Every structure is written in structure tokens, then in C-alpha cells.
Structure 1
């Protein structure tokens, strides 16, 4: 059973990017029941028990044989378990999903779920994690002798989002592409130079010395509320404030005080903008992007920068540019500047954390993007930031490869972003006192 990948999905095959979700847990987790829940959901989602195979004109999804489909992996580990699982790839030809339950202590566990970006985006990945715990809760609540929850019939392959776009005049799409190419050519953006040593002879470095790591910024519930109040009072989006903080931190790492053109690449979710809308439970990549080049100087007011980013993004969505962006995505390899930002700011917004059954408590929930290749030989690259709020706590995850940016560099970058975000909240109204 196969399903051909559309041109947009074929791009993700080469990128080898993935969504990495995790829950740090305390309490009694039954591994066998969790494995049953994972099997049930992968049965309902054929993309999650598939592999990528060559096909005419590109690639296709092909169902894995029963003995090769992904199953919950059970193992023991310690503090390094998170980074170890983050660095496990999903190679072409293998399963497009992976789940691991790591026992980290007498009463603690770490659940990780990895899904290939070819078949998911941030919203559907989070929805899958939540559905996994919902199914687990249903199974553990089943009384002995009671009929367990009925399995859902195997679903058909989901249609590619690129086939669900509204009709468009090909000439208009071509005009849009030419305008975008002209704009990016006229305003090339600057990237941050890697800070790792470059004096080793070519080929002398052991790739195993390096790995993907994550620097993380988390605001507490009151700080998050203040940031939202600051955005509302200023008439900007929270995304605009976070993007401005990231671009300000990036500008501080470039020479001089004069304006330097920086690019901010923001995701645009298509699910709610299609007719009919596509449910977050459908496991497909349903996201495109908006890139804007903005001159940023050493004296640029971060709030003015946030207003510009918010306004440009809003106006782009109002024009329907996101549909054009999806249509021209197959042309990006010929024009890589179309998606070249100094910072890439993915934003899932405020998201509900999974609902855990009695006896299981989550001490942390995270979403981090990762990929196979970070190209240290390029010497510079965008900085990736994944922004998501679980249970009213805004987190900015900054994944990086240690062959490109050192942990020290990214810690300082994170700290600068935190300082910029908290500066926005200084004049914001405090969170209302809770009753009682």
C-alpha cells in the first residue's frame, strides 16, 4: 500500500527534519498499556507506520511490514536520556515515527515521541501526543472484565495539503514567485557566523564529537501573563515580541551600530485557513512560511521592531500570501533565499498539555525541532527557535548543533532573549490574584 508524496512533501525528504516531543513524568506508568496505546494510534495513522521509498518523480509512503512497524521502546537511562533520544535519526527507508519510554528513576520516566516532518507539523505532533495519553487513560480505566475501548478502523492516507489549496491562476503564482525572488535578491539577509573553531584540517574532526543540544528559556505563569498583557497593550502579537527579542539578540552579535538587514521567517498554519479546515489530528505537514527582511540597528527599539514584524505578518496573511508560498515551495531549491532567515521562529501558540490519568504527573512537556544535517562547513546559518506555551508557561527552545554553535554561545544568546522578553513586561499589568 503506497501513497505518492506531493512536490512539497518531497522537499521534506531531503531536509530530514523531525518533531521531537517529550513528557517528563512522575508516578506509576504501565509500559505495556502505553505500548498498546501507541500501537492503537499508529494503526489509525498509516503515515506513522510507513517508510519513504523511491517512486516515479520522487518518493512515496509505503506501509511497513507488521514486524517492522514502530513499537514503544522501553529502556533505562539518566539525565542524558533526553539528548540521546533527540539525536536518534529517522533515516529514509525506516519508520517515520519513534516512541521511547525511559525509566529514569524509581518513580520517574521520560516519554519521547519523534515524527518525521514529511508527515507532520507542530500542531499535529502535539495533537498526537495528547491523543496518546487520552488513549492510555482510557485503557488504564478499563475495569477487568469490561470491554476495552473499541479500536478505530484503519484510516486512509491523508491527502497532501498542497492538493487542498484554493484554485489559482498559474500566471499569478508565477508573478508572485518573480516578485519574491526580486525582493530577496534586493535585500539579502545576514546570517550568524558559527563560533566553533575553524582551524582544524579538513576531515580531521570526528563527527561523533558533536551532537544536537538545546538551550531553553521558560517564563513562569505570571511572566507569561505579563508578556501577553504587554503584547495586547502595544497592539502587537506575542509572536512579534518573541521574534523581535530574537532578532535583537542576533543583531547584537554583528559588528557596528548601523542597520543590518536581518530576516525573520515565521510559520503560517494552513489547517484553519483551508476550506474545509484540516483537523490537527490529520498527520500531514500543513504549514508554510512568511519571510520578511528588516533593517535592524544597534539602537532599534525592540517594540517598534515587534510592531513591524506583527504588521507585516498580519498583512501577508490577509492577502493570502500563504497559499502562494505553498504553491512556490517546490521552486525553493532553485531559490534558497526565499526561505533564508537570520532567525526562524516557529510558534505553536498557547497549547493544552496532555491529560494524564490519576497517579501520573507531568513535570515537563516539550516540543523541539531537529534535523539530520546542520552543515558546519557553511560557516553560518539561521538560529532556530521553537516557541510554545504549555499550561500558560511560554518556552523558547533553541536547538543547535555543537559543530556549529557552541553551548556557551547559545546560552548567552538565550539569556539575551530572556532579558529582552522581560523588558517588554516591565510596564505590563500584573496578573490578577487568584481567588482564595
Structure 2
């Protein structure tokens, strides 16, 4: 054992553990126009580490590759990295990214002509989309405060000991503390469900997209050496603000959600290009506001359950009708409580003891509208991307999607990203965008 027992916070739960094998960091990246103050970014990141001590915690693995969350111990926090390069590229950081050292890193790439790229990497075991956006927002708030005043006032530390999420804690110190209580760190969805008396039931909610795992597909149990770091930067298509407004208006006019509409467009495009008789998708559902009491963005690690939907290709012809059926299915699953149940069944789908597979599904992650980040006068954060960094990837022990779509809206532009897709990869994004250009009037004109 290479750590001290007093540094142990807790073992990770299955919703968090599935990101340990590859040391997956989820990145939030923006390009910046204007003169960037590197010293202010360094001060902002240091303030973020003080305000959110989970960022300077560590994750190590026991002999069975189970993740253990540790306090920093005597390891000093790594500050912001600043280098010069091409801001149009999202690089793998030149410095070592290691969950055994800390769980968040800030990479700043400066260029001539007052352009830059700023990327915050946070280990996915301790932060999902909602949590990461909150952290990125706070980073830019701290940056702006420092740029405008020359100092940063870090708010009181969070205390997550109450079931609702956060209460005020003690005042922040000048640096990351080493002896924090368990209540000062965000908790897992499993823990929050247990606090609310919700236990594992018979249904996972994923039965429609599940098949038994064949013996030949069982993951190898021997410990494998990690590979070199890899970065996944999704290919993207962006709708301009006018086209985005039309999608929003279409959703309002037909009383369907934007998520339902985009998911329907994805299923229609995939069915058309693949020629499959049936298409299925799995997508995360943020449960923060759906828990009672609700949970603050930074109070939980990965607070998304999974929803599933399956459609015959013949039933995908009507985009709005399909979106409505997807919405109805989600509403029913939430009412029945099976979205929460999906997480309690994660050991059956991920890790060395899995017995089911959802491989081959379409994954759709819609993180919604990204807030406009605060910035000082003269600085414009003009693009936003989601990337994934695997610090030490190993062979997977979980479901593999046929294709993964990432959906978000930033500065009035709906963005759809794609990872994977095989032979269909080059066509999928344009096909989805074309589906979202559909309108009843346009269809009638085309068939008249």
C-alpha cells in the first residue's frame, strides 16, 4: 500500500469507479480572444483548488483495480500550466496528468495576436457535466475578480453532509488543506439515493437495450499495464443562432423537449444511414433537480441515471412524433423510478463482474445550455468544447457504444459532437443537422 490510512476518504462507488480504468478526465475548453493574464489564471486556479478541495484529492487503485479516493496527504498542489502554441488545437498537456497526484489540471495555451486556449481537466470519477460546468464558471469568476481587483475572495468551504447538498462550512485557508472531513467532499449518486431510502430493485430500466454477456466477452481479470495518454476531441457540427432558434421554436410549437427532438434526429439519421431494422439509444439524465431535496451542482460527483429507448426503423419517419414518444418514455421511467435504478445496477454493466452488455447502442449526452462565462472587459470566450483525456487507458470492461453524440448550446449555437461511428462516421453529423432543419411546412412543400 502506497498511501497512509489516514488519507483515505472512501472507496469509489460504481457510478464513479467506471472512470478509473482509463483515468478519464473530462475537459471543458474555450478559445479566448483578447489579452489573457496568465498570472490571473494561475491565481484563479489556485482559488478554485481552495474553494473545491476535491480537486486536489487523489485516486489510487488497490490490488483489484478498485478506485480509492484520498486526501492530498503531503503532496503539494500542481498549479496552472502555461505554454505557447496553437490555440486551435486541444493538446494533451506536456506535463504529467496523474490521478495519483491530483484530480484537476488547468492547461493554458497562449498565442500571438491575443488568442489563447484554456482547458480545465477534471477527473470524471468526481465530476460529471453539471459539476464541471459549475467549476469552469467559478474559474472564470475568480479570474475576472483577480483581473479587476488584484485579489480573490474565496467563499466558505462547502459542507456536503446534509442530504440536500450544501451548507456553509468553515472559512477557506490560504492553500489546499490535508485533513478535511468526509462531509467536505461531493458524494456519489448511490450515497444520495441511500440517504433517501432508495435501494436496488428488480428493474434497471435498461432491459430493452440489454443482452446477456457471453462467456467469451468476459473481461480479462489480470492486471494490465496502462497505455500512453490519449485525448478524444469530438468532431462537431454547429448550427448558427438562426438555425438554433428554429429548433427551439419547433420544440415549443410541438410541445416536445429539445432533448427529445435532437435524440429523434439522431435515431432517424442513424436508421437511414445504417439501414438497420431497429435503433436503440442510451442517454444520461441529470437527477440533481429530480431528487427530493434537490442537490447543488457541485455537491455530487456523477449524478446521472441512464434512460434507454428503442424504435423500429419504420417508426422513425415522423421526427416530432418520435420526439414525443421519447419524451413520454422518459416521463414514465422517471415516474416509475427506474432512472435512479439504472445506477444501482451499474455493477451488472461495468467492471470485472459485469453480466450484461449494452454494446452497440447509440449514446446521446445532452448537457443543455452552457452559461455565458464571466470575463473582464476586452476578453471574449468565443468557443466551447467538451473533450476527454484518458491519462492511462487500459482495455475496457464495459459497454461500447456504436457512436456517441454530445449535444450542447453555447452563445446561441446548438452544437452536436460525435465520437466513433465506424463506417458511418463521416456522414452522421451532417445527417443529424439535416434532420433538425426539417419543418412540417418544408416537408409538405417537398412532397407537393
For this structure pair, what is the TM-score category when the shorter chain's length is used for normalisation?
A: 0.7 to 0.9
Q: Evaluate the alpha carbon distance shift between residue 295 and residue 83 of structure 1 in structure 2; reply closer, same or farther with a 3 A threshold.
A: farther
Q: Could you list the per-position Cα deviations for residues 207-255 of structure 1 after superposition, in whole angstroms to 9, with x for gaps in the alignment?
A: 99x9634211111222111101111222221111111221222223324
SS at match of 1:347: strand
Distance in 1 of aligned mates of 2:333 and 2:95: 37
Task: Confirm whether residue 62 of structure 1 aligns to residue 70 of structure 2.
Answer: yes
Aligned to 1:158: 186
Shift of 1:307: 2.1
Unaligned runs of 5+ in 2: 1-6, 157-170, 173-179, 213-226, 444-448
Shift of 1:100: 0.8
Task: Confirm whether residue 349 of structure 1 aligns to residue 362 of structure 2.
Answer: no
Distance in 2 of aligned mates of 1:303 and 1:309: 10
Aligned to 1:358: 377
Distance in 1 of aligned mates of 2:198 and 2:144: 49
Aligned to 1:189: none
Shift of 1:284: 1.4
Q: Could you list the per-position Cα deviations for residues 113-144 of structure 1 after superposition, in whole angstroms to 9, with x for gaps in the alignment?
A: 1111100010110111111010111112216x
More helix per residue: 1 or 2?
Answer: 1
Contact 2:8 2:68 in 1 (8 A): yes
Contact 1:230 1:427 in 2 (8 A): no
SS at match of 2:294: coil
Aligned to 1:126: 133
Provide TM-score, normalisation by structure 1: 0.79
Aligned to 1:398: 418
Shift of 1:299: 7.0
Distance in 2 of aligned mates of 1:78 and 1:183: 42
Contact 2:365 2:407 in 1 (8 A): yes
Q: Evaluate the alpha carbon distance shift between residue 50 and residue 37 of structure 1 in structure 2; reply closer, same or farther with a 3 A threshold.
A: same
Task: Confirm whether residue 282 of structure 1 aligns to residue 315 of structure 2.
Answer: no
Q: Evaluate the alpha carbon distance shift between residue 11 and residue 301 of structure 1 in structure 2; reply closer, same or farther with a 3 A threshold.
A: same
Contact 2:365 2:405 in 1 (8 A): yes
Task: Confirm whether residue 254 of structure 1 aligns to residue 258 of structure 2.
Answer: no
SS at match of 2:18: helix
Q: Could you list the per-position Cα deviations for residues 237-279 of structure 1 after superposition, in whole angstroms to 9, with x for gaps in the alignment?
A: 1111111221222223324xxx622211111111112232211
Q: Evaluate the alpha carbon distance shift between residue 353 and residue 89 of structure 1 in structure 2; reply closer, same or farther with a 3 A threshold.
A: farther
Q: Evaluate the alpha carbon distance shift between residue 182 and residue 99 of structure 1 in structure 2; reply closer, same or farther with a 3 A threshold.
A: closer
Higher mean displacement: 417-426 or 346-355: 417-426
Size of the alignment, in residue pairs?
A: 394
Distance in 1 of aligned mates of 2:389 and 2:311: 26
SS at match of 2:190: helix
What aligned pairs does 1:13-412 form with structure 2 within 5 A after superposition? Answer: 13-14=20-21, 16-55=23-62, 58-64=66-72, 68-78=76-86, 81-84=89-92, 90-142=97-149, 148-150=152-154, 152=156, 153-154=171-172, 156-165=184-193, 167-168=196-197, 173-177=200-204, 180-181=206-207, 184-185=210-211, 212-255=232-275, 260-282=277-299, 284-297=301-314, 300-333=317-350, 334-335=353-354, 337=356, 339-340=358-359, 342-369=361-388, 371=390, 381-400=401-420, 405=422, 409-412=424-427
Distance in 1 of aligned mates of 2:322 and 2:35: 48
SS at match of 1:12: coil
Q: Could you list the per-position Cα deviations for residues 134-167 of structure 1 after superposition, in whole angstroms to 9, with x for gaps in the alignment?
A: 0111112216xxx752564457222322111164
Distance in 2 of aligned mates of 1:338 and 1:426: 42
Q: Evaluate the alpha carbon distance shift between residue 180 and residue 390 of structure 1 in structure 2; reply closer, same or farther with a 3 A threshold.
A: closer
Distance in 2 of aligned mates of 1:399 and 1:374: 18
Q: Evaluate the alpha carbon distance shift between residue 180 and residue 108 of structure 1 in structure 2; reply closer, same or farther with a 3 A threshold.
A: closer
Distance in 2 of aligned mates of 1:102 and 1:300: 46
Distance in 1 of aligned mates of 2:393 and 2:309: 25
Unaligned runs of 5+ in 1: 187-206, 429-436
Q: Evaluate the alpha carbon distance shift between residue 310 and residue 24 of structure 1 in structure 2; reply closer, same or farther with a 3 A threshold.
A: same
Provide TM-score, normalisation by structure 2: 0.77
Shift of 1:95: 2.4
Shift of 1:300: 2.8
SS at match of 1:112: strand
Contact 2:271 2:278 in 1 (8 A): no
Distance in 2 of aligned mates of 1:388 and 1:336: 33
Shift of 1:297: 3.9
